[in-house]
Structure 1
Amino acid sequence: MSAIRGRSITVRAPGKINVFFRVGALQSDGYHDVASLYQAVSLFEEVTAAPSDGFSVRFTGPIDGGALPTDDTNLAIRAARLLAERTGYAGGVDLTVFKWVPIAGGMGGGSADAAATLVACDELWGTELGRSGLLPLAAELGADVPFALEGGTAVGTGRGDELSPALAKGTFHWVLALSEAGLSTPVVYRALDRHRDAHLRDLGRQPDQVKVDTAVLQAVRVGDADSLAEAMHNDLQVAALKLAPELTELLELGESRGARAGIVSGSGPTVAFLVGDAQEAAELRSVLSRAGVRALTVTGPVAGARIL
């Protein structure tokens, strides 16, 4: 297994929206059982892998990656090292990540980088694990990495990493409102636990295990935006809104100006607005832009990590 000197491989992998996200009770090991419906959307990270003796990563593109780690704690570097270790590959890789997905935005940008890195290095190094061989490695790296590898629409259960594809028809149109401030996923979960403890009498005890509602699965199966708008839900939203109260105003603005529904994606702070078609998306995007909000239009579902 030797990489060809001078050759580089570029792979793009999608960010995701959590269309539905349910969080079970806090377990004794500090984790929660979750049930999610993921949709991969047309906002992609691009990772270029070039042969090297060591392991390095740098960031470019419209999202400033200056604050991201470039050492062995970086998820893309961890992905490359894991593949090398499991296949006995002796060399390294230089990674260049062209960033489009917001950092700490609840859209799985780092996971997309890791998925793209696995596919790029597998091709570059000739390790030939292929998608099915890379999936177990992806699951070791984090809950969202297998989904970035597979793409489409899928149900995630357990820690979110046990994936099963969901039947989805047609195309959904989204407007993403991006926030300047990132929210840390662990901080959002802790805020949710505190909120549930404080409101135990009203909310009752949470179940240990949770599942995706039938209504949301049915909505994506028939490709109906109005049904999906009614079925979307995110347990983490209440915590994200406590930590970033300005998101409440943002949700109200979008929903009052044409969105079928808005939802905080994952742990936030990205807000995803579901609209009916491309024209509605363009109109809402300009409303948000005039209000000083950075907004993008995307569609879903799209394919997972692919070589360009």
Structure 2
Amino acid sequence: MIRAPDMLSRLNLFALVGLATIVTAGPCDIYGSAGTPCVAAHGTVRALFDAYDGALYQVTRSSDNAVTDIGPLSAGGVANAGAQDSFCSGTSCVISIIYDQSGRGNHLTRAPPGGFDGPGPNGADNLADATAAPITVGGQRAYGVFIEPGMGYRNNQASGTATGDGAQGMYAVLDGTHFNGDCCFDYGNAETSSTDTGNGHMEAIYFGSAGPGGPAMALGSWLTSRTNRNQNTADPSINFRFVTAVVKGEPNHWSIRGGDSTSGSLSTFYDGVRPDVSGYNPMSKEGAIILGIGGDNSNGAAGTFYEGIMTSGFPSDSTEDSVQANIVAAGFST
């Protein structure tokens, strides 16, 4: 097993069991210090900036449609799951908003209908059960976003996300055991119309067992990691309970990286030029943000999301390695 990088001590990233603040530099603090700031930061299990003490997500109670915001136990800390438990006691709740911690207002809400309608009201998608994905982070209970087919979140009017051939990076911490082969459990940059507008109009993390060339457990966008658009059978399988998935792109260059969110460093699965299919070089990204669905609202996928970010600019490998050290130090556990 590869040890976590020595940067843990250098950055004073400590997992302090029993304390609400688990690290002294959040993932978005690390990205910001490297000149590639977070323009979207979503997490239902913890704050992603060391100083963030605002709402992480909103839950809606089924008994009376009342809502409440769930924040961290303290600035930079783990979500206050106890507040959710108290509010939802005796009934059920759904996650109705996943707040953007970057300050840009890029919140994720129920995905509207698009190329594919959802089973929710007026063809929109359903919302995730607020208690379906319990874990602990730094010894504190927290809840992820458990996506089943027909569920999804979106923001078609995001601010600051990459458009056109602009550079961006993203990561997500996911449940490596919860997936299917249907389209598409994505997190990242997509079409603003909720329809398929052609090659190169989205760039997102995809996690699942579907692919244009056949089934394979892989990390990456729908463009799997080779220069043509087909599946790369040389990609390794992902076999971790908690997976760190990383995708980044800039003009005619993109990269897929990943690893175990509880131990060790990131591996690079692909780093090279864009696919040699029309539309991918240059890219035509549109800047919407999706979670649990495809760019055209394809909503047949399953997966669980705990946290993720999108950056302005192309992060360096060393910056992502520092973020991975932060994630390991956070102490994700079942």
**Structure number with larger C-alpha Rg:** 1
Question: Do the structures match in fold with TM over 0.5?
Answer: no
TM-score class, shorter: under 0.3
Q: Greater helix share, 1 or 2?
A: 1
